[in-house]
Amino acid sequence: MQEWIPSLEQAFKRFLNSVGYHPMTAREIGTRLGLAPEARPALRAWLRSQEREGRLVRLRGQRWAKPADTDRLHGVLRFTRRGEALVADEQSPDRFIRILPDSLGGAVHGDRVLVELVSRSPSWRGRPPASSLDRAFAVGRVVRVLERRHALTAGVLRKGARYWYVVPLDPRDPTNVVVTGFATALDPPPPEGAVVAVRLDPWRAGEHRCSGTVTEVLGPSADLRVRLRALVREAGFPEYHSLDAVREGRRHHRTATISPDGRRDHRDWPAVTIDPPDARDFDDAISVRRLDDHRWEIGVHIADVSIYVAPGSAMDREALERGTSVYMPGRALTMLPPDLTTDVCSLKPDADRPCLTVRAVLDRAGRLHEAEIYPSVIRSRARLEYESVQDWLVGERADAVPDHVRDLLRELGRVAEILRQRRAETGALLFTLPEVWCETDDTGRAVAFHRREARLAYALIEELMLLANMIVARRLAAARVPAIYRIHSPPDAEQWERMEMALLELGVRMPSADRQGAMTALREVEGTAREYPVAMAVLRHLKRAEYSTRCGAHFGLAARPYTHFTSPIRRYPDLVVHRIVRALMAGEPPPHSHEAAARIARHATEQEQLAEEVERDSLAILRLDYYQRSLRSGHTGPWPAVLVQRVSSGWIAELTDTLQGAFIRDEARNRRLQPGMVLDVELLRVDERRRMLEVRPAVPAAESHKYRQRIR
């Protein structure tokens, strides 16, 4: 059989996009392209591959067409927290199609699917429904699963009258998985009620149920750690590093001493690291000193991971596969083996470490006068934590930081404020989403939740990291080499309109549907209980940032170009950028072709989103278990909450201490509630399936007494 060659592929694409093209069979296409008979099998194979990728659609009579020429589209199937199935069109990401429960066709959450429209609505290019009453968008059915999100899923094993099945743990997977077999290692079959991993069978046309083979027993369903392991299995992140990768890391551990030869010796610079209290790696250190009354010299020192992780090595292959580190409460799935992550590459205090340093000279207006990137060796003077730095900055604790770093922090605070003000003037969206970190015990259960409140301390590091990333991005762009950038497209007109409406629901008015209007709204609620829901409303209506080889703009940061350079221990794109920078400094050719860099960028974007899901879901599981135990012990609050959204049967609220979502059912005494209102709530029920709490407004003591009197 003759191979399908690229020149013929290009000829077919031109033919497909021509004005006169209409759906044709493979034979008709081959004739029009003038293909020899022996090339027809290759054409048919290529057409089928394009169908699997969703680029072509096979109609009745084996005729081939573009999805845009039919009522078909392809996108990723996702379930909302309310159990509604939606598909976002890959060609128009703001166009959503609702899939009815009986039209899933064996697809599960995260699958890339081909959808056929079965009904349209005048506003079908609108947003996903804000409530169960909002149904103004198109309805479709899944025709084909183009790509399984994951080969594995996890759930609780059950035995029916005629077959075994698995009930998924993920609330976004409403369909049970029929067990078609057990791995040979599982003999006898595991007991009913165990949490198991299931390898999903390939999708088959006409099959309307999901099936698979049980491959592993993860443990009892009552064990919280088992449920967290199930999250990791489903996402496809390896729990452990291979023996080869660990051995490579240990070899570097034995030779961690670095010579300053060929590097600028900055061991006398007063560099420090500032990280969260639960940080596991320290890949960036900062230093600053005054040159005169009008200028500062800034040093951003990033761990030189690239000298340890050779391209194509076991560590590199696994780092590429993972794409990023994953941080769960009490546990981390690191991108690199532990010896490198926590020791060899970490900029630990009083230890010589190789770095790539970004040196910059700034004036009092934040203007950049000098910038250079070079290899260095540093010695950190202190390992500081955000909370202690914050306490010292605001004057709450005079002894919160060591004496020898206080002058550095004072100058750093001045520089960070200047940089932040300059970014505000250029139109950057300045908002900080509150974060919650979970304190766990030896069994993995949550014992407390803490809000990260150190705004000033976080700003010190954030501003200098952004500056370093922009300087490196300019260097890459000027060299015109294949590179990886971080891009963020601006919202379209519909997104701005929806953002405006979402903020109005929270009682916040945007003076204009644009960047400046969003910033005005964010400043209005800064430091209040409404800050989190307002920031989330803005964030939900922005496009996602992504990695790309395109040297585009970053809308949120108002930066062009921009890249990720400052976290090579935990992000693979940063490691790639380090390699490119080192090649430029050495006058060597780029380490990656444009095509290879594009593949890495796409994979890293996908892995980043998966990691975010695992981190978010793991925190949700621990929060729900925390509230369930609280309910059993009789402690039902009250806890402060802010109303986020009105829905058909009540309200959605966020508990301000833990950012846990909660539902307030409509009652007579709830009639005075308004979006953005802050109130105390009491816990009624924990809905693990929807990962929500059901709460009610707390009754003041006096009203509670009157209520009990009425009952009597």
The yes-or-no verdict on residue 40 having pLDDT over 90 is no
Q: Which of 178-192, 452-466, 549-563 has the highest mean pLDDT?
A: 549-563
* Cα separations in angstroms, 598 against 147, 475, 563, 583: 20, 19, 14, 18
The answer to whether the beta carbons of residues 264 and 376 sit under 8 Å apart is yes
Phi-psi region of 480 (alpha: psi -120 to 50; beta: other; left: phi over 0): left
pLDDT of residue 584: 95
What is the pLDDT confidence band of residue 176, given thresholds at 50, 70 and 90? confident
The yes-or-no verdict on residue 126 having pLDDT over 50 is no
Residue 173 CA to residue 167 CA, distance in Å, equals: 9
Residue 383 CA to residue 68 CA, distance in Å, equals: 56
pLDDT of residue 711: 32
Q: Which residues of 77-115 are buried (b: 16+ CB within 10 A; e: fewer)?
A: bbbeeeebbbbbbeeeebbbbbbeeebbbbbbbbbbbbb
Amino acid letter, 114: L
The answer to whether the beta carbons of residues 637 and 626 sit under 8 Å apart is no
Residue 489 CA to residue 450 CA, distance in Å, equals: 33
pLDDT of residue 33: 73
Residue 336 CA to residue 338 CA, distance in Å, equals: 6
Using DSSP's 3-state secondary structure scheme, residue 48 falls into helix
Residue 280 CA to residue 270 CA, distance in Å, equals: 22
Q: Which domains does the chain have, with CATH numbers?
A: 6-67 (1.10.10.10), 71-147 (2.40.50.690), 152-235 (2.40.50.640), 243-490+543-616 (no CATH), 636-711 (2.40.50.140)
Mean pLDDT of 179-203: 86
pLDDT of residue 106: 79
pLDDT of residue 19: 63
Q: What is the mean pLDDT of the chain?
A: 84
- Residue 65 vs residue 378, higher pLDDT: 378
Question: Which residues have a Cβ under 8 Å from the Cβ of 623 and sit 6 or more positions away?
Answer: 438, 446, 449, 658, 660
The answer to whether the beta carbons of residues 533 and 271 sit under 8 Å apart is no
The yes-or-no verdict on residue 707 having pLDDT over 50 is no
Q: What is the pTM of this model?
A: 0.83
Using DSSP's 3-state secondary structure scheme, residue 202 falls into coil
pLDDT of residue 121: 54
- Residue 532 vs residue 18, higher pLDDT: 532
The answer to whether the beta carbons of residues 65 and 47 sit under 8 Å apart is no
Residue 399 DSSP one-character state: T
pLDDT digits (tens, 9 = 90+) for 282-335: 999 999 999 988 899 999 999 999 999 999 999 999 999 999 999 998 889 999
pLDDT of residue 234: 87
The answer to whether the beta carbons of residues 180 and 165 sit under 8 Å apart is no
Residue 199 CA to residue 150 CA, distance in Å, equals: 9
Mean pLDDT of 52-81: 72
Q: What tokens were used for 454?
A: 């150190």
**Listed range (275-289, 403-417, 651-665, 666-680) with the worst mean pLDDT:** 666-680
Closest CA to 263 of 119, 401, 378: 378
Using DSSP's 3-state secondary structure scheme, residue 569 falls into coil
- Residue 611 vs residue 47, higher pLDDT: 611
Mean pLDDT of 96-123: 78
Residue 306 DSSP one-character state: G
The yes-or-no verdict on residue 131 having pLDDT over 50 is no
pLDDT digits (tens, 9 = 90+) for 421-461: 999 888 888 877 778 888 888 888 999 998 877 778 888 89
pLDDT digits (tens, 9 = 90+) for 230-259: 999 888 899 899 999 999 988 886 555 566
Cβ burial of 382 (10 Å; 0-12, 13-18, 19+) is middle
pLDDT digits (tens, 9 = 90+) for 591-610: 999 999 999 999 999 999 99
- Residue 407 vs residue 9, higher pLDDT: 407
